[in-house]
């Protein structure tokens, strides 16, 4: 989901042996969503997803779609061993790539936003080779990102969320929220987060034990405070190993860190570096004050329940700011 810390995790995974740097490809989420709501035949969706994955891996192996933008998370300069992808541009003969894929067994890394909620298609198509690592986070720390995102749907040409409505301004996951367009921005945020969490819990509850073993949920706060345990679990799930680049990536992402909010962040989505100088408790209270100022009383009650559910579901390595 937005604001959970995917941009921290992706380059860490990309530092592992055989794991390709992350690719941001919205089409995987689009096809899974359409399949989930029976807007496309399941047979066609499986064929499309398979071809998309094959093309994405082949293109990655020859750097056909290499991202040269230095400011992008998926840019080659912001990924471990990034020069490897630049060298691939000068590889002669595409025919050898097929053999490389067969022999080296590279792991395609697709970074997406809300795909777990509609992920049955991915698991049905790729079987046991499909692995999903999902970052989750205390809802309080997701709000500012969401607040700067949610009203861009249908109005900002840079926003690519699959949406409904006459103006394309109703995100697909909010279709069952009554009178969504009449809600204030903060209420849209809260009910949107709630909808995705409910969908996530629902699909996980219906999965088989074996399928659940193909998924790793990583709570953001324990990861940034003590990442090594989660790095090892991720590598084990992917059946690979970390490399000499892994610790360098963790250091760049400020992991481990003393305070959970003292990260790099995205300025376009509400992150303000000066707030990193606040204490954890003051920063937490600042975020809650913002929520209470903008949300309706009913939405605040909903958000309090979401927060309580999160703190009860996961364990943390030390006392957290919401416990004070």
Q: What is the pLDDT of residue 84?
A: 87
- pTM given for the model: 0.93
In a domain, 214, yes or no: yes
In a domain, 267, yes or no: no
Helix axes 42-61, 95-104, angle to 10 degrees: 100
Q: What is the DSSP string of 260-324?
A: TT-S---GGGT--GGGGGS-HHHHHHHHHHHHHHHS-HHHHHHHHHHHHHHHHHS--SS--GGG-
In a domain, 105, yes or no: yes
Q: What is the pLDDT of residue 39?
A: 96
Is residue 88 located within the same domain as residue 180?
A: no
Contact of 21 with 245, CB cutoff 8 Å: no
In a domain, 322, yes or no: no
In a domain, 268, yes or no: no
Using a pLDDT cut of 90, give the percent of the chain over it: 81
Is residue 225 located within the same domain as residue 89?
A: yes
- Name 189's Cβ contacts closer than 8 Å, sequence gap at least 6: 143, 146, 147, 150
Contact of 236 with 13, CB cutoff 8 Å: no
Distances (CA, A) of 141 to 25, 48, 144: 25, 35, 7
Give per-residue pLDDT as tens, 23-63: 999 999 999 999 999 999 999 999 999 999 999 999 999 99
Q: How far apart are the first and last CA of the chain?
A: 27
Q: What is the pLDDT of residue 262?
A: 85
Is residue 94 located within the same domain as residue 10?
A: yes
228 SS3 class: helix
Is residue 102 located within the same domain as residue 58?
A: yes
In a domain, 266, yes or no: no
Is residue 185 located within the same domain as residue 303?
A: yes
Q: What is the pLDDT of residue 76?
A: 82
The structure tokens listed for 49 are 């997803």
DSSP state of 263: S
Strand partners, 163: 171
Q: What is the pLDDT of residue 193?
A: 98
Give per-residue pLDDT as tens, 184-201: 999 999 999 999 999 999
* Domain region containing 197: 141-206+278-316
User: What is d(CA 145, CA 271) in angstroms, rounded to the nearest whole number?
Assistant: 8
Is residue 42 located within the same domain as residue 119?
A: yes
**Is the confidence at residue 160, as pLDDT, over 70?**
yes
Tokens 């998926």 sit on residue: 74
| Strand pairing category for 23-24 and 110-111 | parallel
Task: Find the mean pLDDT for residues 276-299.
Answer: 95
Is residue 232 located within the same domain as residue 282?
A: no
Is residue 243 located within the same domain as residue 130?
A: yes
How many independent structural domains does the chain possess?
2
Least confident of 88-92, 97-101, 257-261, 294-298: 88-92
Is residue 97 located within the same domain as residue 243?
A: yes
**Is the confidence at residue 8, as pLDDT, over 70?**
yes
Is residue 38 located within the same domain as residue 183?
A: no
In a domain, 17, yes or no: yes
Is residue 57 located within the same domain as residue 128?
A: yes
Is residue 302 located within the same domain as residue 288?
A: yes
**Is the confidence at residue 267, as pLDDT, over 60?**
no
Q: What is the pLDDT of residue 274?
A: 59
In a domain, 93, yes or no: yes
């Amino acid at each position: 989901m937005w604001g959970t810390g995917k941009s921290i995790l992706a380059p860490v995974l990309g530092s592992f042996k055989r794991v390709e740097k992350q690719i941001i490809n919205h089409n995987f989420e689009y096809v899974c969503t359409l399949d989930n709501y029976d807007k496309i035949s399941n047979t066609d969706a499986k064929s499309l997803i398979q071809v998309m994955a094959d093309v994405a891996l082949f293109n990655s192996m020859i750097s056909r779609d290499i991202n040269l933008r230095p400011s992008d998370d998926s840019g080659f300069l912001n990924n471990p061993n990034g020069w490897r992808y630049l060298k691939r541009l000068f590889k002669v003969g595409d025919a050898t790539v097929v053999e490389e894929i067969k022999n080296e067994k590279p792991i395609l890394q697709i970074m997406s936003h809300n795909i777990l909620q509609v992920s049955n298609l991915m698991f049905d198509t790729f079987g046991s080779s499909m692995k999903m690592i999902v970052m989750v986070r205390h809802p309080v720390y997701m709000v500012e990102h969401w607040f700067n995102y949610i009203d861009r749907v249908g109005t900002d040409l840079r926003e690519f969320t699959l949406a409904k409505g006459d103006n394309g301004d109703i995100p697909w996951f909010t279709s069952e929220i009554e009178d969504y367009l009449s809600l204030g921005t903060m209420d849209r945020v809260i009910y949107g987060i709630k909808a995705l969490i409910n969908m996530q819990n629902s699909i996980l509850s219906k999965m088989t034990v074996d399928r659940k073993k193909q998924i790793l949920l990583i709570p953001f706060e324990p990861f940034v405070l003590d990442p090594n345990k989660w790095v090892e679990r991720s590598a084990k799930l992917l059946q690979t190993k970390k490399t000499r680049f892994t610790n360098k990536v963790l250091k760049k992402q400020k992991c481990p860190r003393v305070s959970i909010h003292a990260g790099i962040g995205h300025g376009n989505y509400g992150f303000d570096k000066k707030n990193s100088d606040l204490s954890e408790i003051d920063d937490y209270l600042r975020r809650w004050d913002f929520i209470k100022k903008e949300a309706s009383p009913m939405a605040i009650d909903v958000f309090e329940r979401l927060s309580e559910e999160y703190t009860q579901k996961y364990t943390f390595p030390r006392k957290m700011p919401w416990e004070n």
